[in-house]
Chain A
Amino acid sequence: MTEKPGALMDQRETVFIVDDDESIREGVSNLLEAVGINAKCYATAEGFSAHWSNAMAGCLLLDARLPGIGGVELQDRLRESSIKIPVIFMTAHGDIPMVRKVMKAGAVEFLTKPFHKEELLNAIEQAFASDRARRMEEAVLDSIRLRACSLTERERQVMELVATGLTNKEIAQRLFLSLVTIKLHRGQVMRKMQAESLADLVRISERMNPTRASG
């Protein structure tokens, strides 16, 4: 928690507690407050899903059995909506098929009530870490996309061709331009994208278009 990037500091990490039992919500939030973790409580899955967004930082502490939309169902809905917040499940009577299902769907941990403080805090820390990594990645991508917006159409073409490994001469031939023009464009691209080397530029380009890089 010491090396938070400046952009992420604005947002306080929060544990979103969803449980229909008020005493559980109170108990868990009291404990989290005592250890200095921000917590926010919801009584139902519907109540939580009214507020969700990818901008949420932290993790979801979710009761597996809830009235209305259940915990397992809420996990499915989050995935369908591409909301990537990490989920910690808790239940008073979980069965093995249920545990297998939610862990396969990417849950961080499955806690059986009543649970130890360390179990809960470890799970939350793990979830926060993975959420931070997710948000950092997203922030990097956002800045790259922002930089890419300043490129002209011609510069974007040149960058893509450079990233595929063509020489300046080959690019000039393909775009029917002079070698000097290509060199000029390339210089602009390197500057605008804040790339320090050719390798750096290729990496940035891959991040922008992950499908093409893998394909």
Chain B
Amino acid sequence: MHPRTGFTPSQRLNRLEYANSIKALLGLDVDGADLLPADDMSHWNPTNSVYDATMTAATEIGSSNWLMEYAARPCIIAGFFVLVAFLWTIPLQHVIAYPFVFLFFGAIMGSAWFGGIIAGFVAVALSSVIVTYFFVPPLYSMHVAKESQSFFAAFILSSIAITVVSSSRKRAENASRIARDQLEAKVQERTAELQRSNLEIKESERQLRTLTEAIPQQIWRTDPQGCIEYCNHHLCDYLGLRTEELKGEAFFNVVHADDKPLFRQGWQAALRSGDRFEIEARVRARDGGYRWFLVRSIPQRWEDGRIARWYGIHIDIQQQHRAQQNLVQAQDDLAHMQRSLSMAEMAASIAHELNQPLTALVTHAYACREWLQAKPANLEKASATAEKIIHESTRASVVVRRVRALFQKEEQERELTSMNHLIQELARLLRDEAIRKDVSIRLLLANDLPQLEMDQVQIQQVILNLAMNGMDAMMRVAKPRELVIRTERRGVGEILVAVEDHGPGIAPETAARMFEPFFSTKPQGTGMGLAICRGIIEAHDGKIWAENSVRGGATLQFTLRLQS
């Protein structure tokens, strides 16, 4: 066990992983060094303590009282038992023949049992002497009569056998008792250890739970299959649900319907691959409103690499998200303002350029009439004025020509182009705008389109304009909003491009005028978009028109033909 943290290695590993999981979730560097000291594990040896204890006891006994243990104590025990046997034998010898045999056998057995093999042999020696002297004829001498020699020899051999058997039995019993004691001590130690580590685990779990509750983020945990096991109170409070109410499909139901497919897909892919999972999604609050969250989840693994559980955290990014949205909106507004401002400025400038010669022209015309109506008519003046009128008209038409040149490139750069390719390229450009306006764009492109000569930039401008109009038209209709851009072959060398929305469609009075300059139904529209589109398409010998589709919504379409 670790001397300071009090964890067994397996606990330490778990805890280390646990700590790392939490840190990874919070986006810290994964490094356990600051949580737990990285000592080696050589301190740990589960059997050390019991083993040491027995060894120490044995050494102490041997060194202090060797003489007592191996000389005095066996002699005293043997002497005691033999004396008791002798004292009992004296009265009993007159009642039972050869009683000493049983009594001395008992004494030897007792000595060997209680005093060990040394005491047993001492008792054998003492018994032999006493039996020879007192009970074997001739009595009271150390001689053994011939007829008693076989009996006496049998007695001594039996005595030695009893000693050996008894003492070895005793030793075996002692050994098994010691083994049992050791086992028991070991068991107790292990039990205590387990209890302690249990407490420690509980304590560390309690600390971690306190930590997860204290973090001002929403935290959850699932099993390896992704079934929710725990939510901290921030998450429960936000959702207004208990952990049990989030099991199964309910886990996905708190995510906004638009984010759900991506969320489910990402989460299931993460469960399969075991990679960390991260997504931005709107999560429903208890009041039914949604906020943007960064949902991040990482797996915690067992030592063998299997996933133990998943930890997830929800970080509120509503503010950032709103700021970002506002920024995009502001950029958009700014761009629009600049566009319409330059249009307004241009219109003012054109008006001024044209009004100057027109004013001169009109005043000259009035003057001319006055000269002619005078009595008498001043023909000279009238004629000079008429000259002025011609001059001013020319000047006005120069202005008109210049304005036209401004809107129209003198030399158009036309090249053979694949319309489908052009549209695919444009769809990429439109992607961001479509996401922001919650519109999905579907391309239905015909395969058999001929390549046509066109000004790519201008035609892209036209389609872009139609697509933006279509997306704007759907802003106020329910989702899902879909914009279809379709191409179609029309006869030989003619293609049709249609942009279909399912907005409110086009009012009849609008349809007649929508391609006219300065006609707009939008509050901030310049009314130039579709007029410019018509200009471009007609310059390409094409046609542009609008109709309401049978499914509802408007279809704006144009045709382009092979240039002869």
Bound-state CA distance A120–B367 (Å) is 12
Q: Is there contact, CB below 8 Å, between B360 and A23?
A: yes
Closest A residue to B371 by CB, please name it.
A34
Bound-state CA distance A26–B378 (Å) is 17
Q: Is there contact, CB below 8 Å, between B355 and A93?
A: yes
Q: Is A142 an interface position by the 8 A CB rule?
A: no
Q: Is there contact, CB below 8 Å, between B367 and A92?
A: no
Q: Is B477 an interface position by the 8 A CB rule?
A: no
Q: Is there contact, CB below 8 Å, between B366 and A117?
A: yes
> Given A30-B385, A30-B388, A33-B367, does the pair A24, B356 have CB atoms closer than 8 Å?
yes
Contact pick for A31, options B366, B374, B391, CB 8 Å: B366
Q: Is B148 an interface position by the 8 A CB rule?
A: no
Contact pick for A113, options B358, B364, B368, CB 8 Å: B358
For B358, what are the chain A residues with a Cβ–Cβ distance below 8 Å? Answer: 113-114
Q: Is B357 an interface position by the 8 A CB rule?
A: yes
For A115, what are the chain B residues with a Cβ–Cβ distance below 8 Å? Answer: 359, 362
Bound-state CA distance A35–B360 (Å) is 16
Q: Is there contact, CB below 8 Å, between B367 and A114?
A: no
For A120, what are the chain B residues with a Cβ–Cβ distance below 8 Å? Answer: 363
Secondary structure of the A side of the interface?
helix
Closest A residue to B362 by CB, please name it.
A114
> Given A30-B363, A30-B364, A92-B351, does the pair A23, B374 have CB atoms closer than 8 Å?
no
For B366, what are the chain A residues with a Cβ–Cβ distance below 8 Å? Answer: 31, 34, 117
Interface residues on A, range: 20 to 34
Q: Is there contact, CB below 8 Å, between A34 and B359?
A: no
Encode A95-115 as 1/0 by CB contact (under 8 A) with B. 000000000000000000111
Encode B373-407 as 1/0 by CB contact (under 8 A) with A. 01000100100010010011001000000000000
Contact pick for A27, options B351, B352, B359, B371, CB 8 Å: B359
Bound-state CA distance A34–B359 (Å) is 17
For A33, what are the chain B residues with a Cβ–Cβ distance below 8 Å? Answer: 367, 381
Q: Is A144 an interface position by the 8 A CB rule?
A: no
Q: Is A190 an interface position by the 8 A CB rule?
A: no
Closest B residue to A92 by CB, please name it.
B355
Q: Is B532 an interface position by the 8 A CB rule?
A: no
For A31, what are the chain B residues with a Cβ–Cβ distance below 8 Å? Answer: 363-364, 366-367, 370
Q: Is A28 an interface position by the 8 A CB rule?
A: yes
Q: Is there contact, CB below 8 Å, between B351 and A23?
A: no
318-359 of chain B: CB within 8 A of chain A: 348, 351-352, 355-359
Bound-state CA distance A208–B364 (Å) is 47
> Given A31-B364, A31-B370, A117-B366, does the pair A26, B388 have CB atoms closer than 8 Å?
yes
Bound-state CA distance A115–B358 (Å) is 9
For B388, what are the chain A residues with a Cβ–Cβ distance below 8 Å? Answer: 23, 26-27, 30
For A125, what are the chain B residues with a Cβ–Cβ distance below 8 Å? Answer: none
Q: Is there contact, CB below 8 Å, between A23 and B355?
A: no
Q: Is there contact, CB below 8 Å, between A23 and B385?
A: no
Closest B residue to A111 by CB, please name it.
B359
Q: Is B537 an interface position by the 8 A CB rule?
A: no
For A92, what are the chain B residues with a Cβ–Cβ distance below 8 Å? Answer: 351-352, 355-356, 359
Q: Is there contact, CB below 8 Å, between B359 and A24?
A: yes
Chain A nearest CB from B356 CB (Å) reads: 5
Bound-state CA distance A24–B403 (Å) is 21
For B131, what are the chain A residues with a Cβ–Cβ distance below 8 Å? Answer: none
Chain A nearest CB from B388 CB (Å) reads: 7
For B441, what are the chain A residues with a Cβ–Cβ distance below 8 Å? Answer: none
Q: Is A21 an interface position by the 8 A CB rule?
A: yes
Bound-state CA distance A90–B361 (Å) is 16
Chain B nearest CB from A95 CB (Å) reads: 9
Contact pick for B355, options A34, A114, A116, CB 8 Å: A114
For A23, what are the chain B residues with a Cβ–Cβ distance below 8 Å? Answer: 356-357, 360, 388, 391-392, 395
48-74 of chain A: CB within 8 A of chain B: none
Chain A nearest CB from B149 CB (Å) reads: 156
Closest A residue to B364 by CB, please name it.
A27
Q: Is there contact, CB below 8 Å, between A21 and B360?
A: yes
For A90, what are the chain B residues with a Cβ–Cβ distance below 8 Å? Answer: 359
Contact pick for B361, options A21, A27, A117, CB 8 Å: A27
Q: Is there contact, CB below 8 Å, between B351 and A93?
A: yes
Chain B nearest CB from A130 CB (Å) reads: 23
For B367, what are the chain A residues with a Cβ–Cβ distance below 8 Å? Answer: 27, 30-31, 33-34
Chain A nearest CB from B355 CB (Å) reads: 4
Chain A nearest CB from B215 CB (Å) reads: 58
Q: Is there contact, CB below 8 Å, between A27 and B355?
A: no
Of A24, A27, A114, A117, chain B has the most CB atoms within 10 Å of the CB of: A27
Chain A nearest CB from B275 CB (Å) reads: 63
Q: Is there contact, CB below 8 Å, between A114 and B370?
A: no
Closest B residue to A113 by CB, please name it.
B359
Of B348, B360, B388, chain A has the most CB atoms within 10 Å of the CB of: B360
Bound-state CA distance A55–B104 (Å) is 172
Bound-state CA distance A27–B388 (Å) is 8
For B391, what are the chain A residues with a Cβ–Cβ distance below 8 Å? Answer: 23
For A93, what are the chain B residues with a Cβ–Cβ distance below 8 Å? Answer: 348, 351-352, 355
Bound-state CA distance A21–B359 (Å) is 11
For B370, what are the chain A residues with a Cβ–Cβ distance below 8 Å? Answer: 31, 34-35
Chain A nearest CB from B320 CB (Å) reads: 42
Bound-state CA distance A46–B285 (Å) is 71
Q: Is there contact, CB below 8 Å, between A27 and B348?
A: no
Closest B residue to A65 by CB, please name it.
B352
For A30, what are the chain B residues with a Cβ–Cβ distance below 8 Å? Answer: 363-364, 367, 381, 385, 388
6-28 of chain A: CB within 8 A of chain B: 21, 23-24, 26-28
Bound-state CA distance A113–B392 (Å) is 15
- On A, residues with C-beta under 8 Å from B are 21, 23-24, 26-28, 30-31, 33-35, 90, 92-93, 113-117, 120
Smallest CB-CB A-B distances: 4 pairs: A34-B370, A27-B363, A92-B355, A23-B360
Using A30-B385, A34-B381, A114-B363 as known contacts, list a sample of 6 further A-B pairs with CB atoms less than 8 Å apart, ordered by residue number in A: A23-B395, A26-B360, A34-B371, A34-B374, A93-B352, A114-B355
What are 16 A-B contacts defined by CB distance under 8 Å? A21-B356, A24-B359, A26-B360, A27-B359, A27-B360, A27-B367, A30-B385, A33-B367, A34-B370, A34-B374, A34-B385, A92-B352, A92-B359, A93-B351, A114-B361, A117-B366
- On B, residues with C-beta under 8 Å from A are 348, 351-352, 355-364, 366-368, 370-371, 374, 378, 381, 385, 388, 391-392, 395
